[in-house]
Amino acid sequence: MDYNTLMWVTPSGIQKQPSNSYIKGISKRPENFRVLERLPLEQNDIPITFGEPQESDITLVVLDCETTGLGPDDGIIELSMVRCRYDQSGKLVTVDEELSMLQYPGRPIPPAVVEITGITDDMVRGKHIDKTRVSEILRDDPLVVAHNAKFDRPRFEQIFPSDYRWACTMDGISWPMLGYASAKLGALLQSEGWFFNAHRAMADCLAVVWLLHVVPDSLQTLLMPSVEVVVEGAYEIKDTLKSRGYKYTPNGKYWSKRFDMSKADAELDYLKPLCVYKSRAYTREINPRTEFR
């Protein structure tokens, strides 16, 4: 093997030596190193079996879109979906099906998007998303999961209007409260000792599939019925809310955070003496069939 081909370049342009060049240093001072392992899921290996399927297994379809930009009118250029099963403890049982399709967005792909994704105008010319295949992988009303469902659901439903149940691995789990420094997909997996090649839809889907497998109780948290605690007119306590994990919604001018139903009342009791003047706190039901639109 030509180990020079295993060298890699950081975003800042620094060329790093291949992993085997660190073996001597690791053997001498292992406390000075942390090892990252490549995600063990590959599109070409699907279907993949990790255990014996049971009737009680939980079926998910993980979805990711690559688009021409971040605006509401930007079109999808790539859609990937992965159908998988987890057991009741949250461990991955099977990765059953996948689809990955390119689509012409109706206008040239911006150079910045080409640089990030590697998807060019030539690759998408004449391509479209096969809605029949999308319907098939979504059979039997599975839970649809995305890492940033607020972004993916509206864009997906531009081409495939539906009322499936959705969940979000970025906003549906309080990562900072679990000790993670960031809710970004790559950072979460790095914290668990894994890396993957991001910015293509299938790679991101498989990363979410593996994240739910390796982080204990993450799937159970995602599935747990929850409500949103909303605080309006809370300028005086905004720092307190931010420190407690609340997020601000500028167009609605409110702060909000998801809570398990069993913990929402205690949070309201905590907020009640803090809400003075025109501020108020209340709970709002979260409906997975309409959330993230």
Read off the DSSP letter of residue 17. P
Q: What is the pLDDT of residues 133-157, one digit of tens each?
A: 999 999 999 999 999 999 999 999 9
Domain 43-223 and domain 226-285, same fold? Reply is no
How many CB atoms are located within 10 Å of the residue 205 CB? 28
Task: Give residue 10's pLDDT.
Answer: 76
- Each domain of the chain, given as residue ranges in start order, spans 3-34, 43-223, 226-285
The pTM of this model reads: 0.88
Residue 26 · residue 17 · CB < 8 Å: no
d(CA 51, CA 280): 49
CATH number belonging to domain 226-285: 3.30.70
Q: What is the pLDDT of residues 204-229, one digit of tens each?
A: 999 999 999 999 999 999 998 889 99
Residue 47: asked if its preceding bond is cis (omega within 30°), the reply is: yes
Q: Which residues of the chain, if any, have pLDDT below 70?
A: 1-6
Instruction: Assign domain 43-223 to a CATH class.
Output: alpha beta
Task: Give residue 4's pLDDT.
Answer: 54
